Structure 1
Amino acid sequence: MFTAILHHTPSWVWLLLAGLVALGWSQSRDRLLTLPRATLLPLAMVGLSLYGLGSAFGWAAEPLTAWLAGAAAALAAVHVAGGWRGIEWQAAARRVFVPGSWVPMVVILGVFSVKFAVGVLLAMQPALRTQASFVGAAALLYGGFSGLFFSRGIASWQAGRHALRASRA
């Protein structure tokens, strides 16, 4: 069955995976980014997550609520854990310093894996689309990954905003 799944997967999916791996790899290095660019990837990954949710289950209230719950839980967990330490504003460069991390690679591959698995499972068992437990679990996962990425965007904006406020005072 595994080889059948791989055989029936369109080629563009593997090209997308290669691109996402390259993107994740690039996140492992320290970078100086403009504030908008520091939030571009987090927002893109939130968009990909929402696209995955909507394309699989539609835009009904239940999956969106589960997605929001997953995102909120991940945001809260990252905040409590003090995640994304090291993101700071570099005043001389007027850029945000984002330390390299493998966490974005894990999150990127997590979103891809959930999207791939949901697609395969729905192709094999279309009735899963109506099972609340399946829809809820997938939506929670999509939301959780989105919350992790979104928290990095928030940390970047907070670093820049605090520094800009201090410079105006």
Structure 2
Amino acid sequence: MLLQIISHTPVYVWAILAFLIHRGAISSRDREIEVARLVIIPAAMLGLSLQGIYTTFGPSGVAVQAWAAGAALATFIAFKSDACARDIAHPARGTIAVRGSWLPLTLMLAIFLTKYAVAVAVSVTSTLQRDPLFAIGICALYGAFNGLFAGTLLRSLVLYRRAGAARPAAAQPV
């Protein structure tokens, strides 16, 4: 059965997986990144999650509420963590020096695998789409993954903003 599932998976799904692994590998290394580019991966993962929710459960209020609850809790936890404690903001260059981490790859693969597993489960047992407990659990999980990205992003943006505010007035561009 596993072989049949894998063989019926569209090629574009494997391309998305390869892209996510590539981006995750990049995230594992220390690097300096433009502040505006910090938003790209969290936004893409948000899009994948919301697309997964919408195509599986439709625009259900319960699904959206479960996603929002998971996202809010995980955003708070990630924001309060010290995940970005060693990052260094460079407002003059518009960049942040980000420490390498395997967390982005882990989260991207978690979203991908959740989306894949849900698609397989729904194709095998179509009644799952109408099961409110299944919808709540999956949507809260998507929300938690997105919240971890969002909290880390917010923490980086706050770090950047504080570093910009701490610069002497004479050094700030006019």
Per the shorter chain, which TM-score range?
over 0.9
Report if aligned partners of 2:75, 2:147 keep a CA contact under 8 Å in 1: yes
Distance in 1 separating the partners of 2:116 and 2:33: 31
Distance in 2 separating the partners of 1:108 and 1:8: 22
Letter in 2 for 1:38: L
Aligned-residue RMSD, C-alpha = 1.5
Letter in 1 for 2:42: P
Question: Any residues of structure 2 matched to 1:114-129 within 5 Å, and which?
Answer: 114-129=114-129
Which residue matches 1:104? Answer: 104
User: Shift of residue 36 of structure 1?
Assistant: 0.7
Distance in 2 separating the partners of 1:166 and 1:30: 24
Report if aligned partners of 2:25, 2:102 keep a CA contact under 8 Å in 1: yes
Moved more, 95-104 or 78-87: 78-87
Report if aligned partners of 1:46, 1:150 keep a CA contact under 8 Å in 2: no
Distance in 2 separating the partners of 1:86 and 1:58: 41
Distance in 1 separating the partners of 2:68 and 2:123: 25
User: Shift of residue 103 of structure 1?
Assistant: 0.3
Which residue matches 1:133? Answer: 133
SS at match of 1:160: helix
Report if aligned partners of 1:39, 1:156 keep a CA contact under 8 Å in 2: no
Which residue matches 1:158? Answer: 158
Moved more, 3-12 or 97-106: 3-12
Distance in 2 separating the partners of 1:8 and 1:81: 41
**Deviation readout 1:76-102 (Å, 9 max, x if unpaired):** 222343333222212453311111100
Q: Quickly say closer, same or farther: Cα 1:88–1:59, change in 2 above 3 A.
A: farther
Which residue matches 2:83? Answer: 83
Question: Any residues of structure 2 matched to 1:66-77 within 5 Å, and which?
Answer: 66-77=66-77
The count of residues paired between Structure 1 and Structure 2 equals: 169
Q: Percent of aligned pairs with the same residue?
A: 35
Matched, 1:37 2:50: no
Please tell me whether Structure 1 or Structure 2 has the larger radius of gyration of its CA atoms: 2
Letter in 2 for 1:110: A
